[in-house]
């Protein structure tokens, strides 16, 4: 899949989630904003209540999406023959898509009414989604090959370019700007001991200020604007790579701990989901069949 095709793929998945969420909210905002005592008299009650045609259907479809997303991704990681059907990163993105859209549908299935044993499953699902967002953030901090394999520290360091040579041979810079860029993009002496989550945001804004300061310096020295954009891109890439190198070991360890926290919530959600389905079937609630 080319870079443009991949962007279209991701934007399509995001667009589907956004459009469906807006549609469901628009379709039922009047009903969901009605108090629980008065919903029985609402015109859409028969359709949007959890056991209604649409409400029940959202629960079934949402559950299927979650199950497909979870077990499909597990199968792709475990069985090598599935590699022919796409890279692991694409499966992960589809897993995130299904496990985002599924909980949204289940949220509307509940009609925003939580209680009893179902609430345990629902809040476990919320915990799974929230931890999934955190896990995705940690995941993208760890450099990987195009197939999704984690890179070692030596491999990541090997990705660094000779920015000194590029600046000398490709651009006409004054000595002060040249020195400032090299000092700003120098790899810190300490590696593998990043500041973890608490320092990521601060470091991001610090890097933005560094890039802005260097761009102002380049403009003051009348470097052509196209060259300023190219040099700025080089600086951003180097700063980003330095951050990843510095935090690599910590992020790898954190990702292992994240799995320990993410899995129990997922298991609790699935157990109570099975109980909920069994209770529904026992009491004879059926959908359109």
Q: Summarize pLDDT for 216-229 with one digit per residue, the tens.
A: 888 887 788 888 88
* Distances 148 to 57, 100, 143, 161, 208 between C-alpha atoms, Å: 35, 21, 9, 22, 28
Give Dmax (Cα) for the chain: 80
Same domain, yes or no: 197 and 278: no
- Asked if 204 contacts 126 with a C-beta cutoff of 8 angstroms, the reply is no
Residue 230 lies in a domain: yes
Q: How many structural domains compose the chain?
A: 2
- Asked if 172 contacts 223 with a C-beta cutoff of 8 angstroms, the reply is yes
Same domain, yes or no: 87 and 166: no
Same domain, yes or no: 23 and 49: yes
Q: Summarize pLDDT for 53-63 with one digit per residue, the tens.
A: 898 899 889 98
Same domain, yes or no: 258 and 120: yes
Residue 288 lies in a domain: no
Same domain, yes or no: 106 and 130: yes
C-alpha closest to that of 167 among 156, 178, 159, 175: 178
Same domain, yes or no: 170 and 68: no
Three-class DSSP category at 150: strand
Same domain, yes or no: 107 and 137: yes
pLDDT < 70 stretches in the chain: 1, 115-118, 143-153, 155-161, 187-200, 285-289
Rounded CA separation 164/155 (Å) = 20
Rounded CA separation 135/122 (Å) = 20
Domain that holds residue 225: 154-246
Same domain, yes or no: 85 and 209: no
Same domain, yes or no: 43 and 60: yes
Instruction: Provide the whole-model pTM.
Output: 0.66
Q: Summarize pLDDT for 85-119 with one digit per residue, the tens.
A: 878 788 888 988 998 999 899 889 888 887 666 67
Residue 289 lies in a domain: no
Same domain, yes or no: 118 and 209: no
DSSP 59-122: HHHHHHHHHHHHHHHHHHHH-GGGGGG--HHHHHHHHHHHHHHHHHHHHHHTTT---HHHHHHH
């Amino acid at each position: 899949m080319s870079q443009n095709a991949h962007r279209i793929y991701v934007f399509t998945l995001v667009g589907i989630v956004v459009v469906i969420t807006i549609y469901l909210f628009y379709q039922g905002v009047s009903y969901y904003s009605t108090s629980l005592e008065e919903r029985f008299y609402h015109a859409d009650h028969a359709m949007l209540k959890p056991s209604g045609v649409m409400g029940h259907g959202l629960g079934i479809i949402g559950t299927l999406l979650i199950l497909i997303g979870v077990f499909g991704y597990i199968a792709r990681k475990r069985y090598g023959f599935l590699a022919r059907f796409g890279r692991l990163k694409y499966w992960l993105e589809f897993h995130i898509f299904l496990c985002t859209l599924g909980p949204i549908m289940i949220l509307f299935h509940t009609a925003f009414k939580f209680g009893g044993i179902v609430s345990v499953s629902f809040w476990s699902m919320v915990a799974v989604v929230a931890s999934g967002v955190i896990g995705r953030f940690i995941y993208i901090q760890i450099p990987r090959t195009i197939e999704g394999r984690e890179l070692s520290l030596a491999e990541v360091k090997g990705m660094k370019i000779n920015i000194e040579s590029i600046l000398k041979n490709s651009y006409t810079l004054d000595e002060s700007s040249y020195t400032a860029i090299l000092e700003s993009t120098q790899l810190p002496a300490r590696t593998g001991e990043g500041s973890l989550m608490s320092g990521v945001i601060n470091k991001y804004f610090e890097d933005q200020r560094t890039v802005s300061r260097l761009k102002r310096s380049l403009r003051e020295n009348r470097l052509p604007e196209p060259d300023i954009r190219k040099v700025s891109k080089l600086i951003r890439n180097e700063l980003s790579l330095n951050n990843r190198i510095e935090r690599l070991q910590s992020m790898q360890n954190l990702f292992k701990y994240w799995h320990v926290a993410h899995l129990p919530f997922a298991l609790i959600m699935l157990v109570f989901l099975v109980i909920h389905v069994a209770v529904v079937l026992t009491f004879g609630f059926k959908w359109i069949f």
